[in-house]
Amino acid sequence: MWRFVSVLGFSVSMASAQAAAPLILVFGDSLSAGFGLAANAAWPALLDQDLAKQGKSWRVVNASVSGETTAGGLTRFPQALKTHQPKIVLLQLGANDGLRGLPLAEMEKNLASMIKMAKASGAKVHLIGMQMPPNYGANYTESFAAIYPRLAKQHSISLTPFLLAPVYKNIELFQTDQLHPKAEAQPLLMKMVEKDLGKLI
């Protein structure tokens, strides 16, 4: 009986410790949601595992949704902040805006609004950028890519300029749609983001 109570107490203590651990909220689209991958194979889950292996107390929660635009994210974001109360937000949105040719001014405005909301809640923000394929035209692709460093500078936040930087030149690391990275690519994405987070974690 004593052993059962002790084990139960240990389990409760572990659960309490996990609940009390500072939280990193990943808020993105299919590139973070793990489209086409097995459960817990996407880079946010790998980040959670890697931080635990390092003995760091951070907990990673992935609130990413496949197909999400910045407008859709903006509608979900206040509740996500309220529910999870993160210490750090990894904001990875914009790819679907770009692929659909949506107005870049609106995309930038939506991202800025989410950055401001997160900072107002007390969270630090790390922005994760994307780039568009060259067939969208030089003017659009260059204007799109410039949004992320501009926002990072304006709001004094850290930045990963291009999530797919470690893998985009290797087509074998992509699924058949040539848009979403395979499971083999996820550790490379995770390591880059983790390095860019730097002193935040």
In this predicted model, what pLDDT tens digit does every residue of 10-24 receive, in sequence order?
554 444 445 579 999
Domain residue extents for the chain: 22-200
Higher pLDDT, 5 or 167: 167
CB 50 within 8 A of CB 59: no
Residue 104 φ/ψ region, left for φ over 0, alpha for ψ in the -120 to 50 degree band, beta for the rest: alpha
* Structural Rg of the chain based on CA atoms: 18
**Band of residue 3 on the pLDDT scale cut at 50, 70, 90:** low
**Band of residue 146 on the pLDDT scale cut at 50, 70, 90:** very high
Instruction: Report the C-alpha gap between 183 and 15 in whole angstroms.
Output: 29
In this structure, of 7-21, 58-72, 94-108, the range with the lowest mean pLDDT score is 7-21
**Band of residue 8 on the pLDDT scale cut at 50, 70, 90:** low
Kind of pairing between the strands at 88-92 and 158-160: unpaired
Instruction: Report the C-alpha gap between 151 and 22 in whole angstroms.
Output: 25
The two three-digit tokens of residue 33, written as one number: 């949601």
CATH number belonging to domain 22-200: 3.40.50.1110
**Residues contacting residue 58 through CB under 8 Å, at least 6 positions apart:** 21, 22, 23, 24, 48, 51, 88, 201
The two three-digit tokens of residue 102, written as one number: 């949506």
**Where in the sequence numbering do the catalytic residues fall?**
30, 177, 180
- pTM, 2 dp: 0.90
